Every structure is written in C-alpha cells, then in structure tokens.
Amino acid sequence: MARPPVSVSPRTPLVEVAQKMLEHRIGSVLVVDREDRLVGIITQGDFCRHPGRMVPFSLFESANVLSNWLYPDQVERVYQAARNLRAQDIMQAPVVTVSPEASLGRVLALILKHDINRIPVVRRGKVVGIISRYDLLRVMQQEHAS
Amino acid sequence: MARPPVSVSPRTPLVEVAQKMLEHRIGSVLVVDREDRLVGIITQGDFCRHPGRMVPFSLFESANVLSNWLYPDQVERVYQAARNLRAQDIMQAPVVTVSPEASLGRVLALILKHDINRIPVVRRGKVVGIISRYDLLRVMQQEHAS
C-alpha cells in the first residue's frame, strides 16, 4: 500500500489534472472533497471517454510528439477546452474501494472483477492508501521467494 | 499462460500493427520472423518513443475523438507516415522472455524488474505462450482462495 496517493478536487481544471498525472508519472488520480472524502477517480482513459467532453490525455502526454501533426491553434484549442472542463466532469464515481481490514483475497477479487489497476483503501470515507497490481505482484514475489 | 499471442512480421506497416492491436484490444504484439522466431515486441508506448519515427498510437485509438481536433489532411498525413514505417522500425529488441520451465518466482522477478505487463514464453526461439500481470494475479487469487 503506497501513500499518500495524489489527489485533486472536483473543481480542478482538467489541464491541471493532466499536469499532475504527468508530473508524478501516474496513471490515475483520486478526487476528494473539502473534507478529504473520496468522491471519484480519474484514469487516463477517462479523458476521452465522455461524448462532448473529449480531450485525449495523449494531447498532453505527447505534446512534443503531436506538434509534428497539430497546428499551434489546435494545441491552444485543446488547452482551452481542458481549462473549461473540471475533474467532476469526467471522473468515475462511485469508486471501487476496500477497507484497511480487507483480506488479500478480497482485494484481488475486486481488482480482477473490475479490471482496474489500483484500488483505494478507505476508512470512514477518507483515503488511507492505495494498492496497485504492482504492489500485489511484489507480495506474490515475496511469497514465492520464501 | 494465454495462446496464441497475436503477432506481426518485422515488415508489417505500423498502420496494420495498430489496427491489429485495436481489433484484438491488446496492449502489445509480438514480432516474429518467417521461421516464427521471436525477434521483437511492440507496445502502444513504442509508437511515439522514437525521435523521427513518431506516430502516437492514440491517433489510431481515438480517431473519432481526435477528429474534433485534427483537420482531415492531418489525419491523412498520420496514416501515410504509418504506412511508410514498419514494425522493425519501432519494436523493442531483444525481448525479455522465459522458458516454459521457469518458476513463478522467476517470472515475477522479470516482470517487476523490467516493469513490463507481459512476458512471452519461448522454447527454441519460438513463442509457445505469453504470461500477463492479469494471469499472475489470477494465480495469486487461487492461492488465497484455497
């Protein structure tokens, strides 16, 4: 379980969400309210999953690559759209979570059933950690090394 | 271990590689020579990792999304570039592989060390299967269910 997970507020503009994900090199961010309660999660795929609210994450990720293909006015249009849209417009909610007391079997079942890469660990609505597939494979490695 | 993994030849144009990945909904394809020996692997990230050979995978994945941002002549330029480039121009080689006799601990160690999602299982140069992180978590789930 890694902590603290990176989070944004529901009102954070998409362009800042994307910058945060790139800065921390992460595939998802948590969305928390003012009382620090988990209200949503955003993955890279969510950036282009919503009709009418589509700002492909790759346009931020590969800005230097895409400059081969995009004209400058288009890049500016993308950033403008991403300043107008906010985390709450594209986040997934409710979020699949586990309690700190959950068994490893329960964590695995949820990750496989929902085909997700990470699952937040929540106590009384607040995030206390996050478990990734990588973390689980590390545990498995320890089990198989001993 | 899943089989048969999807493969292309070193001379397959990038546009066909992308279409194959989208059609099978997979994050990587194997590159095999005429004798069916493994010579490389291509993941979505490899599409834009090479200076001067950059055709972001998302331009194929989100063609309908990107049509909001790209002019038709740009879309055509991207496809033209992807017809001129071939699998061998962007593939990763050599490939991290395991033998069919490898222990689970060995498989885990390689996947974690190289931070890869899948590892081909190779016997005498030929691919006989592929193991993903998902497959490993399924095994772990079985171990923790019993």
Report cis status (omega within 30 of 0) of the bond before A94. Answer: yes
Read off the tokens for A69. 């293909």
pLDDT band at B114 (very low <50, low <70, confident <90, very high): very high
Residue whose structure tokens are 């620090």: A36
**What pTM, to 2 d.p., does this model score?**
0.81
**Is B56 within 8 Å of chain A by CB?**
yes
Q: Tell me the C-alpha to C-alpha distance, in Å, between residue A70 and each of A128, B77, B84.
A: 41, 11, 20
List of chain B residues whose C-beta atoms are within 8 Å of the C-beta of residue A134: 112, 115
**Is B142 within 8 Å of chain A by CB?**
no
- Residue A52 in this model has a pLDDT that exceeds 70: no
**Is A22 within 8 Å of chain B by CB?**
no
Query: Pick from B104, B101, B105, B110: which is nearest to B128 by CA?
Result: B101
Rounded to an integer, the average pLDDT of A35-56 is 82
List of chain A residues whose C-beta atoms are within 8 Å of the C-beta of residue B98: none
Rg, Å, chain A Cα set: 17
Digit-coded pLDDT (tens) for B27-42: 899 999 999 999 999 9
Asked whether the beta carbons of residue A70 and residue B69 sit closer than 8 angstroms, the reply is: yes
- Tell me the H-state helices in A67-125: 72-84, 87-90, 104-114
Angle between helices A133-145 and B133-145 (to 10 degrees): 60
Rounded to an integer, the average pLDDT of B40-63 is 76
Q: Write down all domains in chain B, each with its CATH number in brackets.
A: 7-145 (3.10.580.10)
Core vs surface per residue B30-50: b (16+ CB within 10 A) or e: bbbeeeeebbbbbbbebbbee
**Is B106 within 8 Å of chain A by CB?**
no
Q: Which neighbouring-strand residues pair with B41?
A: B30, B92
Q: How far apart are CA A102 and CA A67, in angstroms?
A: 46
List of chain A residues whose C-beta atoms are within 8 Å of the C-beta of residue B137: 108, 111-112, 133, 136-137, 140
**Is B62 within 8 Å of chain A by CB?**
yes
Predicted local distance difference test score (pLDDT) of residue A137: 95
Predicted local distance difference test score (pLDDT) of residue B74: 75
